[in-house]
Amino acid sequence: MIEHAFLKELINNPFLLSDLRFDDISKILQNAKDFFEKENLLLEFNLKDKDKEIYVIGDIHGNLDTLLKLIEIINKNNPEVVIFLGDIVDRGPKQLECLLIILALKILDSQKYYILKGNHETLEMNQYYGFFQDFVNRFNNSDNFNEILKLYNVLPICAIINDTILCLHGGIPQDIDILKELRGIKTKERKSLLKSVSLGLFQIMWNDPKAGLKGFTESFRGSGIKSFGEDVFDNFMKENNLKLLIRSHECFPEGYRWFFHNHLLSIFSSANYRGMFAPSPASYAIIKNDEIIPKLLEL
Ligand SMILES: [Mn+2]
């Protein structure tokens, strides 16, 4: 077991993370992995007291300033559960720091913090968008990156709150029955799933909603990835007895965006992302009484 006092010190003084040796980092990765391995691919939360709050947080992409601000708000308001929608690393200036802080939160309070897999929790994306190189530069050893990959392999893929609200990174997949296939399967049993499910898992991490669109169409993002319209979204939700969806994966200049008559909320939790829109606020969502309240982050 890793010392909890040590983890708390890292969260309170993130500059200490820059000096950590790989041995320390490896312990954090291992410890967090032990928790993820016991979780289901599809997480289910049923709050008896619906007045209690669940916080949902979108892409962080190495933005430590935004992450620390979010942690401040979480500590102040003390929600029951906090769900990160993935894409913690790549692109931003403090990728490993953000990942380690979120894993430290997980280890310290494993029944409160949950992390879903985003499309950037993969080797291919990390090799292209910075995290892999960052990591190798820091530790002069690419073999150590295997520890990161082992962690990615056991992340859950989606979460359902009170049987009504679905949380995931990208969007609904074409496979309308995928949630039934995933239910009750442990993250480490992912490989036992049928091959046919893997495209659905991929699309959950990659797909995007598109206003005014009918059906699924090929996405600019790449092969197998789809944009989806309101008709197929409504079908998917109805078939699975769901009412609302929260996702991330796209940055909008206004901070968050509603789609499909306020049934899908898109959030993004890295402020001023890549300078794409100047300035773009970070957002997050609060779930309370089976409703979604989008929030902008004042930095
Ligand atoms: Mn993404």
**What value does the mean pLDDT take over residues 194-209?**
93
* Domain span at 24: 4-296
pLDDT of 263 = 98
State the distance from the centre of ligand 1 to the C-alpha of 193, rounded, in angstroms: 23
State the distance from the centre of ligand 1 to the C-alpha of 120, rounded, in angstroms: 6
pLDDT of 191 = 82
Quick check: 136 pLDDT over 80?
yes
pLDDT of 275 = 63
Structural domain count, the chain: 1
Query: In this predicted structure, which of 11-15, 172-176, 208-212, 241-245 has the lowest mean pLDDT?
Result: 11-15
Nearest to 246 by CA among 199, 192, 288, 284: 284
Does the annotation count 249 as an active-site position? Answer: no
Q: Which of 4, 61, 120, 169 is catalytic?
A: 120
The percent of residues above 70 in pLDDT, for the chain, comes to 98
pLDDT in tens, 13-43: 999 998 899 999 999 999 999 999 999 999 9
State the distance from the centre of ligand 1 to the C-alpha of 3, rounded, in angstroms: 32
Structure tokens that stand for 134 in this block = 């960052």
pLDDT of 299 = 64
Three-state SS sequence of the chain: CCCHHHHHHHHHCHHHHHHCCHHHHHHHHHHHHHHHHCCECEEEECCCCCCCCEEEECCCCCCHHHHHHHHHHHHHHCCCEEEECCCCCCCCCCHHHHHHHHHHHHHHCCCCEEECCCCCCCHHHHHHHCHHHHHHHHHCCHHHHHHHHHHHCCCCCEEEECCCEEECCCCCCCCCCHHHHHCCCEHHHHHHCCHHHHHHHHHHHHCEECCCCCCEEECCCCCCCEEECHHHHHHHHHHCCCCEEEECCCCCCCCCEEECCCCEEECCCCCCHHHCCCCCCCEEEEEECCEEEEEECCC
Structure tokens that stand for 254 in this block = 């206004």
State the distance from the centre of ligand 1 to the C-alpha of 48, rounded, in angstroms: 32
State the distance from the centre of ligand 1 to the C-alpha of 88, rounded, in angstroms: 9
pLDDT of 2 = 83
pLDDT in tens, 97-126: 999 999 999 999 999 999 999 999 999 999
Model confidence, pTM: 0.97
The percent of residues above 90 in pLDDT, for the chain, comes to 90
Quick check: 221 pLDDT over 90?
yes
Q: What is the crossing angle of helices 145-152 and 22-37, to 10°?
A: 20
pLDDT of 111 = 98
131: domain CATH number is 3.60.21.10
Quick check: 86 pLDDT over 90?
yes
State the distance from the centre of ligand 1 to the C-alpha of 143, rounded, in angstroms: 25
Mean pLDDT computed over every residue of the chain:
95
pLDDT in tens, 147-182: 999 999 999 999 999 999 999 999 999 999 999 999
